[in-house]
């Protein structure tokens, strides 16, 4: 029996790659992304972003663009309408955010010949829910991460995508939830797949996603990575726990430094939220294509 839905998605992907009908940002005919929308997406240097309130354990995050207007339209076209040809320009924007974030963390990837980083840089995408992946026919963050990795490799950086995070329990739809509700919804929702910790200990870890709003997803991804790498390297029971006393009900939130593996302001920790020890001790930084406009406020004097 022919899988009609599978054939439809296959033709949709092929058509999206070969015959883009309109600009994903503004709707201009016969182009994947017009010059004006490309400029909105990647025409300025990526900046550090921080949601308010900032969830415990969130690493330093850099975003290529504000989530508004043409950028919002392009991300939604890629994610919800399956315009897969947008993965390449979105990946290029994400690659820029990765480069800036790694540069600020001292893993030289700036202009000019960079020193070799300590191991291959690992881009770890925040996964969509299984239901969302089935409905869309693809995982947007993983697809964009693969495109970003190609851009970074062409620039001379040793990088690979390590899609080692999986959901270990069901979560509610995040749409319409407040920042505390999103954090509570995601606590303990992600885990590293068996054998994934060995991969994560091979080099600097950069969490990547297409969009950051409250930062809850990235904070949960960071927690899962830190727990797995702490267990792998024998850092002690409870090492890598970011949320401390936070329960599924959201009670007892402790600062980011709670627990040995937290990213707070204790000894040996970077005050911006990343773990001072690279690679094996946890997440170096995070990068996204876009973030909510309010999260860029930290860049204003």
**Has residue 130 got a pLDDT over 60?**
yes
In a domain, 59, yes or no: yes
In a domain, 180, yes or no: yes
In a domain, 156, yes or no: yes
In a domain, 199, yes or no: yes
Please give the tally of structural domains in the chain. Answer: 1
Interatomic CA distance for residues 144 and 138, integer angstroms: 11
Q: Are 203 and 117 in contact (CB under 8 A)?
A: yes
41-45, 189-193, 223-227, 277-281: which has the minimum mean pLDDT? 277-281
CATH number for the domain that contains residue 173? 3.40.50
Q: Which two tokens stand for residue 225?
A: 């990575």
pTM: 0.76
Q: Which two tokens stand for residue 202?
A: 């091979």
Q: Give the domain range for residue 217.
A: 54-63+86-108+119-295
Share of the chain above pLDDT 70, in %: 66
In a domain, 46, yes or no: no
In a domain, 9, yes or no: no
In a domain, 247, yes or no: yes
Model pLDDT, residue 105: 84
Q: Give the model confidence (pLDDT) of 153-183 as tens digits.
A: 999 999 999 999 998 866 656 566 666 666 6
In a domain, 98, yes or no: yes
């Amino acid at each position: 029996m022919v899988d009609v839905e599978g054939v439809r998605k296959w033709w949709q992907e092929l058509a999206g790659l070969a015959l883009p009908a309109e600009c994903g940002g503004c709707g201009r005919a016969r182009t994947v992304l017009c010059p004006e929308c490309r400029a909105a997406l990647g025409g300025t240097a990526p900046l550090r972003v921080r949601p308010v309130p900032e969830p415990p354990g969130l690493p330093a995050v850099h975003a290529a663009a504000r989530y508004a207007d043409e950028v919002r339209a392009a991300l939604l076209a890629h994610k919800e309408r399956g315009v897969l040809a947008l993965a390449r320009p979105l990946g290029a924007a994400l690659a820029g955010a990765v480069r800036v974030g790694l540069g600020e963390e001292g893993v030289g990837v700036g202009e000019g010949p960079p020193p070799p980083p300590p191991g291959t840089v690992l881009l770890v995408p925040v996964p969509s829910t299984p239901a969302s992946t089935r409905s869309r026919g693809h995982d947007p963050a993983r697809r964009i991460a693969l495109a970003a990795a190609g851009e970074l490799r062409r620039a001379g950086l040793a990088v690979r995508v390590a899609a080692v995070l999986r959901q270990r329990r069901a979560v509610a739809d995040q749409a319409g939830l407040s920042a505390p509700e999103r954090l509570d919804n995601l606590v303990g929702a992600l885990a590293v797949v068996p054998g994934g910790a060995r991969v994560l200990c091979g080099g600097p870890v950069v969490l990547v996603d297409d969009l950051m709003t409250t930062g809850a997803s990235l904070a949960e991804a960071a927690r899962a990575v830190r727990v797995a790498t702490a267990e792998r390297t024998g850092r002690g029971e409870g090492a890598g726990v970011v949320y401390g006393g936070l329960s599924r009900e959201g009670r007892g939130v402790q600062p980011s430094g709670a627990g040995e593996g937290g990213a707070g302001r204790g000894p040996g920790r970077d005050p911006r939220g990343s773990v001072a020890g690279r690679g094996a001790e946890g997440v170096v930084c995070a990068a996204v294509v876009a973030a909510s406009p309010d999260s860029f406020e930290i860049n204003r004097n």
